[in-house]
Amino acid sequence: MPVDYLQLKTKIEQIGKEEPDRLQEIAELSKTVQNYFQGYANELDMLREKVAATAQVDPFIRCAKPASEPLNHRGPLPPIPTEATILAADGSQITPDRHAQVYFFLINVGSIEMCTGSAASPVTDVVTELYYGQEIFDIGTISDSYVAQKRDQRERERLSELVAEKSGLVLTITDGPLEIWGGKGQDSEENRSFQEILESHKQALRALKASGAITAGYVDKPRADLVVQLLELSQVQDNELADVRKQRPFRGVTDAALFRKLLKPGERSAVFAIQSTSSTDYTDDLALHFFYLNVGRAGRPSLARVEIPQWVASNSQMLDDLHAVLVDQCKIMGGRPYPYLLHRSHEIALVTYEEKDQIINMILAELDKQDIEVGDISEKQAAKNLGGRRRFSLGKRSY
């Protein structure tokens, strides 16, 4: 039966009554966080020591760690490089469906290239990879998260392949964080598969570094509170660090709220390192960092989090070039600031419902041509189809 809107109406009315008080509470809390943010702006050594001490007793803590710039640093918009190649890649996937007639998964990576200072049209490319039969059984259990991890890996690998063909200044961007997650259970099949993907992902990053490319992951409308959690640590006594994740006195305040008040249009924040359980996976030149960037306009700020590896974070010219290119890319999109090439690469990569059906029909036709008998859809799926309502996910990411 359809959604019970009467039940939802009651809940939504409750939300309407409670939301003003909740927002007022967060606004007051934000003022407190802002005061600590400004007060500790230059206490970098103390904050780094607090993060290190916390990680010793709670290795699962995830927060920002100061690099070399004051917390309230505001980086002005640099000039855009006159000659630079910009590459973006994005991926889409079809996850395996055990209720379908054929069991497979697909990864589609779209890429696009343009050059600053050039009137030439962007160059697009797409790589489609189908996994079936023994390829799947050799992997083992295929979960939705595995396919998403594989997609992220292939995006970075595709960029490293394209960069190898370029010369001069090259920048690469992908949608979402540089970090990939997964691998629960040290001895599990899932963890072994994740470790293989992670190593390939890092190899692609190393190839990008060796080529001299600038690389970044772009997170639109971030909801993280990495810097806010850093400020929370500053208020915790050393004998309470083991329970720091249970306290969360500033819960509800996001980094975006913090930097929205600080950064003017086109400015970036200080660069921060990321303290997390992944810190042992991304080391040396691959160590993960980030900064916030206001790609909006006066009166309408728009905050993005930009993740970068150590080799970019430690190079001021690379930082400036990346900063300038991202702001310029967002200006192309007008009133909805988002990097133009990421938008285009998403359009290129997206697999539609119709294409998914066509792929299934192509596989079925080929198997039939080889006189291979194919099973029917599951009884559960057949029963669902009777209702005439269709639910299908192509597995795009969310942050």
| Confidence (pLDDT) at 382 | 73
pLDDT of residue 398: 38
The pair phi, psi for residue 129, each rounded to 5°, is: -125, 125
Question: Is residue 133 left, alpha or beta, with left meaning phi > 0 and alpha meaning psi from -120 to 50?
Answer: left
Q: How far apart are CA 296 and CA 334, in angstroms?
A: 9
pLDDT value for 314:
97
CA nearest to 218, candidates 278, 293, 280, 159: 293
Which pLDDT score is estimated for 390?
Answer: 52
Give 3-state DSSP helix, strand, coil % of the chain, rounded to 5: 45, 20, 35
pTM of the model as a whole: 0.92
Ranges in the chain, pLDDT < 70: 1, 183-187, 387-399
CA-to-CA distance for 22 and 6, rounded, in angstroms? 24
